[in-house]
Amino acid sequence: MHLAQLRLRDFRNYQRLDLRFGSGFHLLLGNNAQGKTNVLESVYLLATLRSFRGVGPAQMIRHGSPGFFVGAEVVGHHGCLIRYYWSMKERRLSVDQEPVRRLSDYLGLVRAVVFCTEDLQLIKGSPRFRRRFMDLLLAQTEPAYLHALQQYVKVLRSRNALLKAPRWDQATLEAYTHSLLNYGNQIMEARYRLVPKLLPLAQQAYRRISGDDEGLECAYAPAVREDFQQELARLASRERQFKTTLLGPHRDELQWSLKGRSVSEFGSEGQKRSVVIAMKMAQAELLTQHAGTPPILLIDDVMGELDQKRRSGLLPLLDRSHHAGGQVFMTCTEENWPRELGRRLNRWIVREGTVNPSSPH
């Protein structure tokens, strides 16, 4: 699967951008603040309808415009034409001219994995980042997961509203508790299934990046120990005191360790970077296995931050994506682009909101 065409209107610093691509490597070269990452962000937006920079859609509108438009032509098993317009007043998402009615029908048409500096939050940040990592992967590989998660979030909001209300009815709370247990257990079962699939891929990737086997392990640490229902019942009085739901998969953790020691607590800066890249490579690999074709890889300046050895660990992944007809977009400044990638690159020069092909030299 790859994007054959990308059209941006009033998106970030692009007033108007029309690009056509083939599959393979695309290197976006340019100085800082010229709009390299914005191109990656627009592709990621098509895949997830979110920004990987952790901002809302309003911040992706070009200054002074009412809204942005992102359009793309996808080539592959599910070739289609996607159009997405967003403004404060109106949002329109269509596939082949048909409006999209359900999110679950849309997600999966464009699959993308991003490698960016914000990824370090996967290790350094709060457990929320690691839960989102699991959620994103499961939503893309297990059809029922997204529904269970959306329902769980709704139940949780309702249940918390009940606990916060000045007075509430015990039977109503029990009704919402019943739904909480139902969807919560589905989510936990899916997360239990994920880890044994994820870990070997992350270990393999980590060995490639770090050059040696440092004993990478990952463990799913659910907030619920054994029985959700019993443990939640024991918290009843504390829930009344804190006025919020104190147990459930919204408090889960995914722990990463090297030789038995927590990476976030004891890992060196370099180890943290390597583990994060191994996580993302495992994600890309899992999505490839699931769909049969590799996702679009979006690599934002991380290569520049890695030393030669760690960089070369990423190359097999890029190579495989290339052979399988995938697509890779990578941003770099002129001085630090990874020359070892060879000559099969499409180079694009990004300057002040314009993107132009450049002949290889």
- Least Å distance, CB 26 to other proteins, is 33
Q: Is 162 in the site for other proteins (CB under 8 A)?
A: yes
Q: Which window, 46-54, 175-183, 210-218, 262-270, contacts other proteins (CB under 8 A)?
A: 175-183
Q: List the one residue from 69, 85, 129, 168 that touches other proteins (CB under 8 A).
A: 168
Amino acid at 339: R
Q: List the one residue from 20, 91, 157, 225 that touches other proteins (CB under 8 A).
A: 157
Q: Is 144 in the site for other proteins (CB under 8 A)?
A: yes
Q: Which window, 157-165, 224-232, 241-249, 250-258, contacts other proteins (CB under 8 A)?
A: 157-165
Q: List the one residue from 20, 92, 132, 154 that touches other proteins (CB under 8 A).
A: 154
Q: Is 104 in the site for other proteins (CB under 8 A)?
A: yes
Q: Is 246 in the site for other proteins (CB under 8 A)?
A: no
Q: Is 174 in the site for other proteins (CB under 8 A)?
A: yes
Q: Are 198 and 218 in contact (CB under 8 A)?
A: yes
Q: Which residue has the tokens 């191109």?
A: 39
Q: Which window, 32-40, 129-137, 142-150, 278-286, contacts other proteins (CB under 8 A)?
A: 142-150
In whole angstroms, what separates CA 288 from the centre of its chain?
15
Q: Scan residues 177-196 and list those touching other proteins (CB under 8 A).
A: 178-179
Q: Is 31 in the site for other proteins (CB under 8 A)?
A: no
What Cα–Cα distance (Å) separates residue 66 from each residue in 54, 87, 91, 100, 292?
21, 6, 11, 22, 39
- Least Å distance, CB 160 to other proteins, is 8
- Residue 356: beta bridge partners? 349
Contacts of 150 (CB under 8 A, 6+ apart): none
Q: Is 98 in the site for other proteins (CB under 8 A)?
A: no
- Least Å distance, CB 238 to other proteins, is 19
Q: List the one residue from 39, 100, 155, 330 that touches other proteins (CB under 8 A).
A: 155
Count of residues for the chain? Answer: 361
Q: List the one residue from 105, 213, 305, 352 that touches other proteins (CB under 8 A).
A: 105
Contact positions vs other proteins (CB under 8 A): 104-105, 143-144, 147, 151, 154-155, 157-159, 161-162, 165, 168-169, 171-172, 174-176, 178-179
